[in-house]
Amino acid sequence: MNWQAEAEKRRAELTGQLQRLIAIPSVLSEETSEQAPFGKEVRRALDWVLEEGERQGYRVKNVANVAGHLEIGEGKELFGILGHVDVVPAGSGWKHDPFGGAIEGNKLFGRGAIDDKGPTIAAWTALNMVKDSGLTFDKRVRLIVGTDEESGFRCVEKYFQEEEMPGAAFAPDADFPLINAEKGIAGLKFSVDEIGADDALVSFHSGERTNMVPDVATAVVDNSRDWQEAFAVFRDVQGLEGSIDVQDETATLVIRGKSAHAMEPDAGVNAGIHLATFLAQQLDGAGGAFSRFIADHFSGDSRGRALGLAYADEESGDTTLNLGIMRYVRGSHAYGEVSLRYSITYPFADKLEALKTAGITYEITSNSEPHYVDGDDPFVRTLQKAYEDNTGERAELLAIGGGTYARVLDKGVAFGMLFPGEPDVAHQADEFVDIDNLVKATAIYAQAISEWACKK
Ligand SMILES: [Zn+2]
């Protein structure tokens, strides 16, 4: 079967269906009901998929109004494809109507075009192609559609409480070629107990979320000494942007860095760590202890070496730490919050126990375990081959520090739909999908489905 030629024939169907789905503004709403737990537009997107699917001859099911599936084929084994039809809010700055689905040249614009309505339509169309090809399924195949991927996965949690877990599945909600390893993601909150005492630091504030590198840090210090010269020297030696504003009683120090995703802290410049490193040289007392804790354990060290948390493995590379939130208020509290992205084989309990033994005060605020499917698994091999046959490129296996939708599956990998080198416009203004790539991905998915789920 020449899946590329088949997919090419469906180009207009692909863009047409995608435009219809994009036209439904399926953003999480505050106005909810039992019939529409995430709002009526989200429910409308789910209904649209199920009604279309039923019309096309699938066995369809709505699961608690939060997810659903289209099923086809026969057999004991279940194969799954997991996409989602909820989208993040449009936000501002669009040149195109975020729910208009405008086509300009090779691009189709709209919220959800690449995350995840476009990939869901591609996988669905691929399933239609296999269904219409005359091949016979020897597995049951389900296109599972969630409606709460963007705000907590409540959809698939509920779905898999009630429904069968597929023996193997892919989620077209990330990158090609194929992601088979996702690190564990834990939240750690470190407290510095020394409070009070002689102390010039009034407050320190940097970062809002543990999953981002903070790009600004602000400290308020007593004006009991001249900060200006020392601060200027530090800033210039480090090559940082920053400012100092001296008032009557206090001075406000600001350092600017560069934001980046927590999965690679070294791609950013952590403003908070830099400012704390400066203060560590200047302060005594509780403010000094807080600043030194940060400087000693995080300065120039995103791998957790100073904390004894460092680890790497072949499957997924380095464990990383992003100190994303730093807070200090004199006489009140002093803490830092970290997103720990730990390797697949990380000895989590031992590492965290050793930290306690070292006398460091912390709590684990969250923990999502690593997700891994063996690279030699026949399912992974089948997907790799489909990618290679249709692109002529090697299907390298990817390990990432983030989490994808595939995490909820027992044997699930992320498979597309962003091709290597494509810009990631998910969640941004003027989100679009490259139409040629939409067609190409459809061919890849069709081959993968036919080779995994049809009689030879
Ligand atoms: Zn997504």
> How do residues 319-359 score in pLDDT, each as one tens digit?
999 999 999 999 899 999 999 999 999 999 999 999 999 99
- Copy the structure tokens of residue 365: 């605020």
Catalytic residue, from 41, 116, 148, 149: name it: 149
CA of 87 to the centre of ligand 1 (A): 8
- Residue 308 phi/psi, 5-degree rounding, is 75, 20
CA distance 273 to 255: 10
CA of 432 to the centre of ligand 1 (A): 14
Give the pLDDT confidence score for residue 197 in this predicted structure: 65
Place of tokens 């306690």: 356
- Per the CB < 8 A criterion, the answer to whether 139 and 78 are in contact is yes
CA of 216 to the centre of ligand 1 (A): 28
Place of tokens 């099911």: 61
- The pTM score is 0.86
CA of 164 to the centre of ligand 1 (A): 22
Residue type, 455: K
Give the pLDDT confidence score for residue 151 in this predicted structure: 87
- Copy the structure tokens of residue 253: 């120090």
Place 196 in a pLDDT band, splitting at 50, 70 and 90: low
The mean of the pLDDT values for the chain is 96
CA of 78 to the centre of ligand 1 (A): 23
Give the pLDDT confidence score for residue 198 in this predicted structure: 65
- Per the CB < 8 A criterion, the answer to whether 427 and 27 are in contact is no
pLDDT tens-digit readout, 262-290: 999 999 999 999 999 999 999 989 999 99
Catalytic residue, from 86, 115, 182, 215: name it: 86
CA of 117 to the centre of ligand 1 (A): 8
Give the pLDDT confidence score for residue 451 in this predicted structure: 98
CA distance 123 to 449: 9
CB atoms within 10 A of CB 316: 25
CA of 412 to the centre of ligand 1 (A): 15
Give the pLDDT confidence score for residue 227 in this predicted structure: 94
CA distance 395 to 23: 34
Residue 194 has pLDDT above 80, yes or no: no
pLDDT tens-digit readout, 372-419: 999 999 999 999 999 999 999 999 999 999 889 999 999 999 999 999
Average of per-residue pLDDT across 183-209: 89
Place 43 in a pLDDT band, splitting at 50, 70 and 90: very high
Told to judge if 422 belongs to the known catalytic residues of this protein, a careful annotator would answer no
Give the pLDDT confidence score for residue 408 in this predicted structure: 93
Burial (0-12, 13-18, 19+ Cβ within 10 Å), 283: buried
Count CA atoms closer than 13 A to 348's CA, side-chain side: 18
Residue 20 has pLDDT above 90, yes or no: yes
Output the CA angle 220-222-225, nearest 5 degrees.
125
Told to judge if 149 belongs to the known catalytic residues of this protein, a careful annotator would answer yes
- Copy the structure tokens of residue 218: 């602000």
CA of 251 to the centre of ligand 1 (A): 44
Selected residue with higher pLDDT from 197 and 234:
234
The strand pairing partners of 326, in sequence order, are 206, 336
Average of per-residue pLDDT across 74-81: 97
CA of 145 to the centre of ligand 1 (A): 11
CB atoms within 10 A of CB 89: 12
Core vs surface per residue 137-171: b (16+ CB within 10 A) or e: bebbbbbbbbbbbbeebbbbebbbeebeebbbbbb
- Percent of the chain with pLDDT strictly greater than 90: 93
Residue 110 has pLDDT above 90, yes or no: yes
Residue 2 has pLDDT above 70, yes or no: yes
Give the pLDDT confidence score for residue 87 in this predicted structure: 96
The strand pairing partners of 341, in sequence order, are 185, 320
Residue 54 has pLDDT above 90, yes or no: yes
CA of 174 to the centre of ligand 1 (A): 7
CA of 73 to the centre of ligand 1 (A): 27
Place 224 in a pLDDT band, splitting at 50, 70 and 90: confident
Residue 152 has pLDDT above 90, yes or no: no
CA of 115 to the centre of ligand 1 (A): 5
Average of per-residue pLDDT across 149-165: 94
CA 278 to chain centre: 33
At a CB cut-off of 8 Å and minimum separation 6, what does 34 contact? Answer: 65
